[in-house]
Amino acid sequence: MAIYAHPDDADVAAGGLLAQWASEGCAVHLVVVCDGSKGSHVPQVDARSLREVRRAELQQAADFLGASSVTCLEHVDGAVTNDEDLRATLVGLIRQYRPEVVVGPDPTATFFGGVYVNHRDHRETGWALLDAVAPAAAMPLYFPEKGEAHQVRHLLLSGTHEPDVVVDVSQTIDTKVKAVLAHSSQMGGDPEGIRDVVYGRAEQAGRPVGIAFGESFRSVELAF
């Protein structure tokens, strides 16, 4: 299960890994918390239209990855909070789909290289998924109305300053690029530039471990 804030986040952060798992027959369930309605730098863009466009882009990208399901929680961009309601919803989804692994954003990463502040929605989503996985979903007295308790065994957190796992995505990097490019509204009119960035970041992630294309994560094996 991949839990991310915005419609394009999973593809950018973990599209190669998710496509690899789907190609091997794993069920890949994608959960997107926000509606994407503020994902534009153009002031004239209508939020409602953008939300519809991004919903269609998300479905197309998920089809490229081979995702088994896509769940959109439709929080307005910028308004995600790690509160009881969001945790209850995520616990319900975790207990419904019962994933072995949950992939999502590392909420501890705030600043990147002195040039980027991690989006609040990414951080709030990351904290909510951590709280939902460990311990709420695994303990029956948390949200007892949300189904039978389920222990997620493994967390893989992207956008992290402390990566300790690099996944080889050489087989699926082209699929990842297709999925990222499906989010046309986010390309800024430069899909070729975005393509180069995706390949370049994957080369950079793979280089330290001697693979052509990689995606890096912080790995947490949950003991129970």
Q: What does the binding site for Zn ion look like in residue numbers (CB under 5 A)?
A: 5-6, 9
Give the distance between the most distant pair of CA atoms in the chain. 51
Give one DSSP letter per residue of 36-61, joined into a string: -TT--S-TT--HHHHHHHHHHHHHHH
Reduced to 3 states, what is the DSSP secondary structure of residue 35? Answer: coil
From the CA atom positions of the chain, what is the Rg in Å?
17
| Residue 133 C-beta: closest distance to Zn ion, Å | 20
Which residue number, 5 or 58, has a Cβ lying nearer to Zn ion?
5
Least separation in angstroms between CB 178 and Zn ion: 19
What does the alpha-carbon distance between residue 97 and residue 153 come to, in Å, rounded to a whole number? 14
Number of C-beta neighbours around residue 197 at 10 A = 14
User: DSSP assignment, residue 6?
Assistant: S
Q: Residue 6 or residue 55: which is nearer to Zn ion going by CB? A: 6
User: Dihedral of CA 79/101/172/63: which sign?
Assistant: negative
Min. distance of Cβ 113 from Zn ion in angstroms?
17
Work out how close the CB of 120 gets to Zn ion at its nearest, in angstroms, rounded to a whole number.
10
- Closest to Zn ion by CB, 5 or 136: 5
Choice between 6 and 218, CB closer to Zn ion: 6
CA distances from 196 to 47, 96, 101, 171, 199 (A): 29, 38, 29, 17, 5
Which is closer to Zn ion, CB of 54 or CB of 95? 54
CB of 121 to Zn ion, least distance (A): 6
